[in-house]
Amino acid sequence: MYLYNSLTHKKELFVPNDPALVKMYTCGPTVYHFAHIGNLRSYIMEDVLEKALRYLGYPVKRVMNITDVGHLASDADEGDDKMLKGAKRENKSVMEIAKYYTDAFFADCAKLNIKTPEVVEPATSCIGEYISMVEQLIAKDFGYLAGGNVYFDTSKLAQYYVFNDHSEEDLAIGVREGVEEDANKRNKNDFVLWFTKSKFEDQALKWDSPWGLGYPGWHIECSAIGIKHFGGDMDIHCGGIDNAFPHHTNEIAQSEAFLGHKWCNYWFHVHHLNTQGGKMSKSKGEFLTVSLLEQKGYNPMAYRLFCLQSHYRRNLVFSWENLDNAVLAYEKLVSKIAALQEDGAVDAQAFAALKSRFENALNADLNTSLAITALYDVLKAKTNDASKLAAIADFDKVLCLNLLQAAKALRAAQPQEEVDPEIDALLAARTAAKGAKNWAEADRIRDELKARGIEIIDTAQGAKWKRMKVEE
Ligand code: AMP
Ligand code: ZN
């Protein structure tokens, strides 16, 4: 499989450290509010990546954190602590908020067929790991204490900006934007590993540490949780593109300083879901959730298809019109599948040819829109229906669009056309009588059928019949 690696800025052949187990890490949600459909775009594409790897023969272990504490990059961060803001808004404790929105996140994921990772670790459950990591970073001279907080000293690194082609100056402006400078920092990009004296004095959750009562910085959680579950290396680290800097940049800085060697080989970044007004964002307050889509009558599978129709490295613009088009595409796809019949044995050769197109699409930097084209190709293929159904079932292990279930449900909802040779023969005789302008005979047959409880319906495709409802 070829994947674009943000670290090297090019597509590379994916080679895991151990082909028997791909170690995949995903930055989890900050659970102070519902996930919006932009966040879920990232999780859908990461889910497809995991399933594609499995489909292509790599066993995968996936780890995800839940950010239920902090989410502060530095003491200069704007505004309130997000978890605390959520708790105040809803008159609940921070832990109640975290539990409520963690459950809501996984409920949304289930609706979108996003698999739950093997390991889901709330940030609050690894405090001991962060403290130990911070202690070692200080011992290695990468961490320093200033104004009561522990900071990471980015000037000690040979290279800090690992992902971006931008100049250091451009990025530094990005860091300063909207935030006041934190006077404790030695260098503008230094970030907090552990807070004890924060301007957010009313932080609800605090733990004892060698530096006093406090709480962890945001970045340390992903490094420590990754290292806890995978040891000193991992194959793929995923997240939305907004996390590349500073979050992932800082994760790499502290993990590699701590380990003394390279940490993660491939970085997979999903680009944003935008509205016409710009990036969909949780902190802006107004955003679309899966529940809202459902309330408006949208099937979550149509949203999944909407995401799969475009490449993960392109910004995707959300509009109701675009979503409506995805609904139409989904319904058309399902109705075509519903028309397929189990008509015998699968043609192994035809199946292999269809499958190889699908695999090629996945192998080409997870080209899901091409994978959807491969699905349409199945419907057009010159082979029997059983082979088509087998290919669709196979592709849907990765696409997870509930295609066969939806087709089955559609068939069940359609009125069954009954077959009765005697009635069919009478109907044919009536049609022949009408053709011969023998109206008396045609009427007689109609009356005879009526007496048997059969109603004739004349349609553009010829005469059909149905049983009349028996009055109670
Ligand atoms: P958060 O809950 O804010 O930590 O974000 C969860 C995930 O969603 C992260 O991987 C973000 O990078 C990603 N994300 C945030 N906004 C968007 C967006 N508009 N489109 C796609 N992914 C996003
Ligand atoms: Zn993270």
My answer on whether 128 and 201 are in the same domain is yes
- The total number of structural domains in the chain stands at 3
What separation in Å is there between the alpha carbon of 287 and the centre of ligand 1?
A: 12
Q: What is the position in ligand 1's atom list of the atom closest to the CA of 41?
A: 21
Residue 431 in any domain: the answer is yes
Q: What is the position in ligand 1's atom list of the atom closest to the CA of 35?
A: 2
My answer on whether 109 and 250 are in the same domain is yes
Q: Whose CA is nearest to atom 11 of ligand 1?
A: 240
My answer on whether 162 and 129 are in the same domain is yes
My answer on whether 356 and 458 are in the same domain is no
Q: Whose CA is nearest to atom 16 of ligand 1?
A: 39
What separation in Å is there between the alpha carbon of 94 and the centre of ligand 2?
A: 20
The closest alpha carbon to 288, from 322, 252, 319, 310, belongs to 319
Residue 278 in any domain: the answer is no
Q: Whose CA is nearest to atom 14 of ligand 1?
A: 39
N- to C-terminal Cα separation, the chain: 64
Structural domain range at position 364: 290-413
The DSSP element (H or E) to which 457 belongs, if any, is: strand 454-459
Classify strands 143-146 and 149-152 as parallel, antiparallel or unpaired: antiparallel
What separation in Å is there between the alpha carbon of 96 and the centre of ligand 1?
A: 22
Where residue 159 sits, what CATH number does that domain have? 3.40.50.620
My answer on whether 7 and 128 are in the same domain is yes
Q: Which of 391, 413, 435 is a domain's end point? A: 413
My answer on whether 261 and 316 are in the same domain is no
Q: Annotate 66-95 with three-state secondary structure.
A: EECCCCCCCCCCCCCCHHHHHHHHHCCCHH
Mutate to test the pocket of ligand 1, among 242, 279, 306, 307 (most ligand atoms within 8 A of CB): 242
Residue 472 in any domain: the answer is no
Would you give per-residue pLDDT tens digits along the chain (472 residues)?
999 999 999 999 999 999 999 999 999 999 988 999 999 999 999 999 999 999 999 999 999 999 998 665 555 555 567 777 778 888 888 889 999 999 999 999 999 999 999 999 999 999 999 999 999 999 999 999 999 999 999 999 999 988 875 555 555 544 544 456 788 999 999 999 999 987 666 677 899 999 999 999 989 999 999 999 999 999 999 999 999 999 999 999 999 999 999 999 999 999 999 988 777 776 665 689 999 999 999 999 999 999 999 999 999 999 999 999 999 999 999 999 999 999 999 999 999 999 999 999 999 999 999 999 999 999 999 999 999 999 999 999 999 999 999 999 998 887 667 788 899 999 999 999 999 999 999 999 999 999 998 888 776 667 878 887 665 4
Count CB neighbours of 220 within 10 A. 29
Q: Which residues line ligand 1 (CB under 6 A)?
A: 27, 29-30, 38-39, 41-42, 67, 239-240, 242-243, 270, 272-273, 279-282
My answer on whether 298 and 387 are in the same domain is yes
My answer on whether 304 and 432 are in the same domain is no
Six-digit token string for 377:
């190709």
Q: Side chain identity at 176, as an amino acid letter?
A: R
The separation between CA 347 and the C-alpha centre of its own chain, rounded to angstroms, equals 33
Residue 281 in any domain: the answer is no
Q: Among all ligands shown, which has an atom nearest to the Cα of 316? A: 1
What separation in Å is there between the alpha carbon of 157 and the centre of ligand 2?
A: 20
Count CB neighbours of 435 within 10 A. 9
This prediction has a pTM of: 0.86
Q: What is the position in ligand 1's atom list of the atom closest to the CA of 271?
A: 21
For residue 150, give every residue at least 6 positions away whose Cβ sits within 8 Å of its Cβ, in sequence order, or none: 134, 138, 143, 144, 192, 193, 194, 211
Question: DSSP assignment of 26-82, as one string?
Answer: E---BTTSPPPHHHHHHHHHHHHHHHHHHHTT--EEEEEEEB-S---SSTT--SS-H
Residue 284 in any domain: the answer is no
Q: What is the position in ligand 1's atom list of the atom closest to the CA of 242?
A: 12
Q: Side chain identity at 121, as an amino acid letter?
A: E
User: Residue written as tokens 């105040």?
Assistant: 88
What separation in Å is there between the alpha carbon of 151 and the centre of ligand 1?
A: 25
My answer on whether 373 and 431 are in the same domain is no
User: Is the Cβ–Cβ distance between 376 and 388 less than 8 Å?
Assistant: no
Q: Among all ligands shown, which has an atom nearest to the Cα of 240? A: 1
Tell whether the torsion through CA atoms of 169, 171, 176 and 177 is positive or negative: positive
Q: Percentage helix, strand, coil, to 5, in the chain? A: 45, 15, 35
Q: Whose CA is nearest to atom 7 of ligand 1?
A: 39
Residue 280 in any domain: the answer is no
My answer on whether 457 and 408 are in the same domain is no
The closest alpha carbon to 358, from 385, 325, 302, 397, belongs to 397
User: Is the Cβ–Cβ distance between 393 and 404 less than 8 Å?
Assistant: yes
At residue 145, the 3 state secondary structure works out as strand
Residue 276 in any domain: the answer is no
Residue 283 in any domain: the answer is no
The closest alpha carbon to 133, from 288, 326, 263, belongs to 263
My answer on whether 264 and 355 are in the same domain is no
Mutate to test the pocket of ligand 1, among 6, 37, 39, 120 (most ligand atoms within 8 A of CB): 39
User: Is the Cβ–Cβ distance between 117 and 26 less than 8 Å?
Assistant: yes
Using N-to-C axis directions, what is the helix angle for 127-139 and 218-230, rounded to 10°?
100
Q: Whose CA is nearest to atom 6 of ligand 1?
A: 29
What separation in Å is there between the alpha carbon of 469 and the centre of ligand 1?
A: 55
Q: What is the position in ligand 1's atom list of the atom closest to the CA of 67?
A: 4
Q: Whose CA is nearest to atom 12 of ligand 1?
A: 240
My answer on whether 127 and 175 are in the same domain is yes
